[in-house]
Amino acid sequence: MSKKKILVLGASGFTGSNICKNLQNKDYEVLAPSSSVLNVLNECELKSYLKQHSVDCVVNCLDVRGCPDNYMELRLRMFANLIKYNDLYDKMIYFGSGAEYDRKLGIKNIKEIDFGRRIPEDTYGLCLYLMSEMINSVPNVYNFRLFGIFGENEDWKRRFISNAICKSIYNLPITIRQNRCMDYLDIVDLCKIVEWAIENKPAYNNYNAVSGKRYELKELAEKINAVSGKNLPIYIGSEGMGIEYTASNERLRKEFNFECTTVDMSIQRLYKWYDLIKNQINKIDLLYQ
């Protein structure tokens, strides 16, 4: 039997690079063209590429870097082109966001049936909301909504868990703008979900790709202190609790009953990884985050 051919778009980013690496280590043929090789904004170019390569599955990790004024247009155009030619691949997996539920309302253990409770006010949330609406009548496209995700090669300057680990390695205080409850999924577990979606036919178009566990940011900082064996100060900028950002993964677990990596194990593994590459971390950058 021939290997399944998987097209990974956005393979240079955090999510895409981890998924690409995982699939390459498994029994798949992986295509990961750069934007200079395949411009998804160009409808004709995309159609030609898909016809030429006979792709089994598209894993769409595309985003638009920065915050250009035409962010929504670019993101939607790439997605619309891929949807238009959905007959040229068996299925497409892509990654939406909890922002589709409108973050301003607060998101606590939210379920997929709550989608549409209000149209998001921010551009990012609205863009992904419209993408979810687009796939309602497309049977072979699946959206796995991400809330908090972390792991190797993420942007440690901006992402909380990696940033806090790097500060710990350099014996710097761990800083939190405001404490809040979050649901964080290890990128290793997201790779497992992607494999399941490639090999099976999901029953729904949309899933919350979350661990189903809620943690306060302060609690995660304390876990990092425990892993490091240090007692570094944890500074919180604003009092009180910020808006919660958690979701239910009940729908996903009914079909794919996998066990998420415990956050303690994930932090321990990630701490060791950053400790090995600490010479690549600029301490000055950490001081201003």
Asked if the model's pLDDT at residue 289 lies above 60, the reply is no
Asked if the model's pLDDT at residue 67 lies above 80, the reply is no
pLDDT classification of 105: cutoffs 50, 70, 90: confident
Give the largest CA-CA distance in the chain. Answer: 59
CA count, 13 A, side-chain hemisphere, 124: 12
Assess whether 203 and 265 both reside in one domain: no
Assess whether 119 and 244 both reside in one domain: no
Assess whether 44 and 117 both reside in one domain: yes
- 30 Cβ contact list (under 8 Å, min separation 6): 6, 8, 20, 23, 24
Cα(107)–Cα(259) distance, integer angstroms? 23
Q: What is the mean pLDDT of residues 136-153?
A: 96
Assess whether 86 and 46 both reside in one domain: yes
Give the pair of three-digit tokens for residue 8: 């990974």
Average pLDDT for the chain: 95
Question: Cα-atom radius of gyration of the chain, to the nearest Å?
Answer: 19
Assess whether 191 and 178 both reside in one domain: no
Looking at residue 183, its pLDDT comes to 97
Asked if the model's pLDDT at residue 3 lies above 90, the reply is no
Q: pLDDT tens across 115-129, in order?
A: 999 999 999 999 999
Looking at residue 106, its pLDDT comes to 85
Assess whether 134 and 60 both reside in one domain: yes
Q: What is the mean pLDDT of residues 244-272?
A: 95
**Count of residues making up the chain:** 289
Looking at residue 287, its pLDDT comes to 77
Provide the CATH number for the domain around residue 140. Answer: 3.40.50.720
Q: pLDDT tens across 10-57, in order?
A: 999 999 999 999 999 998 999 999 999 999 999 999 999 999 999 999
Residue percentage of the chain with pLDDT more than 70? 99
Provide the CATH number for the domain around residue 243. Answer: 3.90.25.10
Asked if the model's pLDDT at residue 171 lies above 80, the reply is yes
Looking at residue 1, its pLDDT comes to 54
Q: What is the mean pLDDT of residues 154-172?
A: 95
Q: pLDDT tens across 72-95, in order?
A: 999 999 999 999 999 999 999 999
Q: Whole domain around residue 229: which residue ranges?
A: 155-182+214-287
Assess whether 164 and 266 both reside in one domain: yes
**What's the gap between Cα 74 and its chain centre?**
19
Asked if the model's pLDDT at residue 278 lies above 90, the reply is yes
Assess whether 74 and 95 both reside in one domain: yes
Looking at residue 288, its pLDDT comes to 67
Q: What is the mean pLDDT of residues 58-70?
A: 90
Assess whether 232 and 145 both reside in one domain: no
Total domains in the fold of the chain: 2
Cα(132)–Cα(255) distance, integer angstroms? 20
Assess whether 126 and 170 both reside in one domain: no
Window from 104-108, 150-154, 224-228 with minimum mean pLDDT? 104-108
Assess whether 220 and 200 both reside in one domain: no
Assess whether 26 and 120 both reside in one domain: yes
Looking at residue 66, its pLDDT comes to 77
CA count, 13 A, side-chain hemisphere, 255: 17
pLDDT classification of 285: cutoffs 50, 70, 90: confident
Nearest to 129 by CA among 79, 182, 58: 79
Higher pLDDT, residue 258 or 229: 229
